[in-house]
Structure 1
Amino acid sequence: MDGERHADPVRAVDAGEAGLTYDGNGATGGKTDPQNGVTDQKVNVRQNGFTRDGYTFVRWDTQADCRGKAVNPGDKWTLQGSSTLYACWAGNAQTLTYHGNGATGGNTAAQSGKTGDELTTNANGFTRDGYTFVRWDTAKDGSGTAYGEGKNGVSQYVMKPAGNDLYAIWKANPATIQYRNDWPNTTGSTPDTTGSTGDTVTVSQNGFDRPGYTFTGWSTSKRGDPSLNPATSTRWNPAPPPCGPSGRPTPHTWCTTATSAALARKPRTVDGCR
């Protein structure tokens, strides 16, 4: 009919595609599947499916530094274009343990923290007779990562997810065996034996001469049996007390004694002790 007004047909408009993805943000395993839909569609935020060694999942966030909008699993989310939620993590409790690695005394207290924490390592508190502390190391044999060399062990350390152990690394001190003889009417000399603590060395041949006596060997005590013979091997131990008063041999003994800051065997006696 002329003059009759007809309404324009309404065209259906499809909502645009939209999606929500999840980022592990440092995760070491697992996954969380994305959610796809259309603009303005509401979805429930997924539970976390990621894992991260040494860390516990806390929540999702709109920013990777976790300083944006906090979002928890199960919250309602309205899809708008392409969005990403980032996993936020909290470091697990950890302990940094120090090992003397052959120490003969002292202690270095353990330190507590969390995975990822940066802390200052403790100065060495261990001692080891005949050795000087060099540094901390993640390996007992000194082949790992070194910390605090030249600074008595003080350095920066980041807590790992596991295996937070530091071992003392030591350097052997110089050592000297001196062969002494204070017998009357005795001549000659025996040269010192030098090396470092822990070295295996050859005992010197006797160079002393005492008329009417025959040398039978060195001994480990002032009046003991001369059980240590020249040309045999012996291992240096930390310094013993000196032989005799004020470090001097007692009558009827030949002995070795430690010099200042040196390490040597205990006194050794020879023929004529009784």
Structure 2
Amino acid sequence: MDKIILKGWTTSGLTSMDQMFARSGSRLLEVDLSGWNTRSLSSGQAAFPATLSVLHLGKDTRLDPSYFADEPSKGGAVESAGFTGHWIRSDGKWETETDDELGTDNEQLADLTNLRRFKGGTFGWQQFVEVSFEKNAPTGVEVSGDPVKVREVGFDASALKVVVPAPMFNAKNYRCSGWNTLANGLGAGYVQGSTITGLTRGTKMPLYAQWRSSSVPHTPVEPLPIRYKVRYVANAPTGLVATGSVPDDQFEVSPPFKGVNLLHYSHKVTASLYQVEGYRFVGWDLRADGGGASYQPGEEVLLMPGVTILYARWARSTTPISPLPVQYRVRYVANEPAGLSATGSVADDVFQVDPPFKGVDLLRRERATVENRYQVVGYRFAGWNSRADGTGASYIPGARLSLMPGVTTLYAQWAKPSSPVEPLPVEYRVRYVANEPAGLSATGSVADDVFRVDPPYKGSDLVNRARKVSGNSYVLDGYRFTGWNTKADGKGVSYRPGVEASLMPGVTTLYAQWAKVVAPSAPSIPAKPSPSVPSAASSASPLPRMAGDNGGLAKTGASIATMLFMSILLLVSASLLLLGRRNRSSNGRSNLVKR
């Protein structure tokens, strides 16, 4: 892993970043902390590995020089990798300076983040490209003038441009007609004012002066094809011999062409046919020690005219590719009052998360704080705190603590029995995480639900505190929200909005759960059964269909015609019944008259 993005996470309760990203063997290149507030950190010793070259920082991200495992060097490995050893902001408006009074490069970057006006930004090791202009004197001809090197620096080398200057050399009876990537003039050609672009970090490209006799009319020469060769070297581990072979990959670009078309020509890397007993092939690299650009078979490599060498990289067959377990450690410090010593001990609480895991599984890991075993004569234990002076986050034993990978330190707090200490309010926080499927991003937000229990209280008042779960405001195209869960993978306790959750003091994280929205299929039209006995309804002309009528009702299966027929039949029956009653009433009155 060479990049980790943590901008969506906060650092509430985090007190230490000691070696957080600089685990043994780490080759991490880029870290995004743009959403982090590191103001409350008490320690971050060697948090970043020596390989780190890009940092994304937020307005509340504060750095200290001790956070860096190493200072970017001037020259050496850093230079060979295409860096100058200075930090630069992505907009180019700030960079570290070579001035002992301003401190080292890491100290200058840390000082910048601690200014009140600091607004965050992206910072990286300054990259460079270099083009040198060589005399390339004709045989027996003396050329005056000194070779020139043009060096351009910036945040991203691919955006740098080198403009070819006017010829700076002179020779009797000769004139400089331009420049070429090859001394014999058969490479890519450039003239004064040409712009060289597309250079990669650390490129050092020589251009050779091309000379024409002033007394001989110039005869244009048809350019020859430009040849490229990729040589694959076995690069077996020391003392071992590789078997098999990988032939050179050769091709050429025929004229007509422009100089820019010849630089960084794209070509796919071939597969390895080498074998080393006890080792497995893990890819190709531009450097034998693995410190250059790495390529897998089938990936495209950018080539310069001439020969490019790729070295096979090997790993022992027993070496697993899967990531190592990630360890968490909660350190409990006695933190005795000045001049006193505590007895007893509290062991570090150490646990780990074994692969496979997702990045989200490693952040904000919850753990209950342990009971205190320290004793100080004349004092009573008053809880744990994330800072020694008690101004950080407070925790009673058993309260849940949100952890980041690495070491988190909690300090015992002490009070004299004779001077009772008013207990602090106990805070609860429910954090709602969007938990989008991989590769997707949700819109909207759900605010943390924060409340507290004020003293006086009993211990039983703080455990399993009931709180209604909030509704969802996240939106994810193509998905519907199905509820909240205490685990990102949905294997924890599930809650619907409005349902009461039982909370412990500290932070409880609930993860949104999603289901894909499936487009409804068109309802099937049931076949209309043929009546076994002819009736008036069956002999009647069918009713005309209305717009949108599908010939049936989805739930009952009865046709509209059948329903209308039954309605008419009921009306006729009711009319006959009413007519019969009227006749009986009329006959009754007639009988009375006769009598």
Q: Do both proteins adopt the same fold according to a TM-score greater than 0.5, normalized to the shorter chain?
A: no
TM-score by length of 2: 0.19
Higher fraction of strand: 1
Q: Whose helix fraction is larger, Structure 1's or Structure 2's?
A: 2
Instruction: Return the structure number with greater relative CO, CA threshold 8 A, min gap 6.
Output: 1
